[in-house]
Each structure stands twice: as C-alpha cells, then as structure tokens.
Structure 1
C-alpha cells in the first residue's frame, strides 16, 4: 500500500470517526498518545468528499471494496455485497460520499497519509512511531 498521494489542498490530517466505534476510540487514543495533531470529523454527519474518497482509492491501489464498512448495518441492509458486483467505481464513490455509515473507519487522510481502519503496526510505520 502506498501512503504518499497527490499534492493537493488537504495538508491537515483529517480523521473521520464515529464516537460509538471502539476502533475509532483506539485510533483517537493512539493519535493523542503520540502527540499527532489532527482534525476530528464525525463521519456519519460529514462523510469524506468525493475528492478524499478518490485519494483513498488511489492509495489503496483501486481496491474500492476496502473503503466499505462491510460489517455495518447500512451495508448489510442495503444489500451492498451483491450491489457492488454491478456498480461502477463512480457509483460506489457517490454512495460513500453521501452515507458515512458505509465507510470503513477510522478514515484518515492528508496530503501524505491515507489510512483506513486502525492497525497499530501500519500506523506506526506511517507515523514513524517505534
């Protein structure tokens, strides 16, 4: 996975979180413990933009399904396991951009960072910890 992405207008580390998510709480604690400055954004109320989703997609080498929260109720209720088989990437990005519940979290993005989910080993490498 590459973590260096295009030069754009996203210099601040943005962390999209859901307060009721245990993994998000772990990620937030990690950032605080390592004194990493970030802007917290509630993912359900303010999903990442189409531009941010596209940057994350690029960082994950086009693996669009990695962006989906496959264990979420909206994903299951919406039948996305089957829907994704016939949807275009543009349609998938559009769905994610309007429904933050569909996005795997935490969703962490800046000019130089693109992370989905919280795996401490991966975060240690990206944030040069350890």
Structure 2
C-alpha cells in the first residue's frame, strides 16, 4: 500500500494529494502530527530513500527555526537526529510518499511523475 505522510493544513501536502488523485494512484493518508514517525521508521525510510538525513528536516518550519537546528544539527549524530525527528511531526519535511519501494520527500510534480513511470 502506498502511504502519503503529510499534514492536512500544509498546502504542499494538499497539492501532492490532488496530484495523486488526478493520476489515479491509490494511497493511504497518515497525518504526521497525530501519528508521528518513530525513530526506527525514520531510519528505515531514510535508508530506503538513499537521501541524506538533512532532507527529512522541515527547514522552513517554525519548530526547526525556534530550536535553532541549523546550528545544532551538524554536531548531532544520525541517531540523535532521527530521535529528534520522532519527537515532533512538524520537524519532518512533508509530504513523504512511500510508493512501492520508492520514497519521495517534498512535492515536486515533475520528480513525482518521473518516479511513477
């Protein structure tokens, strides 16, 4: 089952959802604020994606800025960063789309369309 991890009040998540519906792609929604990802899930998703862990942080989010993570992340281990991401769904870049074996982070229509070919 394809899973769209997002936040209902996020306009980018809504665009991704509308895109998937228009493309006829079935998916299940997982609200990241209510159903936070565990550190283990974050680790597994990141490993599967092949992306650097930094890509999973919502760097434009209020929580990220309030915690001054731009300065703190470089000195943290990956395990510490994964544990931190698990504490608050608003720290996580969204949407995350688990599509088969693929992981898409953030919505870019062209990139998602390519990944679905």
More moved, 53-62 vs 93-102: 53-62
- Mapping 1:35-114, distance limit 5 Å: 35-114=24-103
Please point out which of 14, 17, 31 is paired with 1:25: 14
Gaps of 5+ in 2: none
More moved, 112-121 vs 54-63: 54-63
Contact 1:74–1:102 (Cα < 8 Å) also in 2: yes
For residues 126 and 110 of structure 1, what CA distance do their matches in structure 2 show?
Answer: 9
- After superposition, the CA RMSD in angstroms is 1.5
TM-score for the superposition, normalised by structure 2: 0.91
| Alignment partner, residue 111 of structure 2 | 122
1:48 positional shift? 2.2
Q: What secondary structure is seen at the aligned counterpart in 2 of 1:85? A: helix
Contact 1:24–1:105 (Cα < 8 Å) also in 2: yes
Richer in helix (by share): 2
Contact 2:13–2:107 (Cα < 8 Å) also in 1: yes
Gaps of 5+ in 1: 1-11
For residues 28 and 54 of structure 1, what CA distance do their matches in structure 2 show?
Answer: 24
For residues 16 and 34 of structure 1, what CA distance do their matches in structure 2 show?
Answer: 18
Q: What secondary structure is seen at the aligned counterpart in 1 of 2:75? A: coil
1:111 positional shift? 4.5
Q: How many residues align?
A: 117
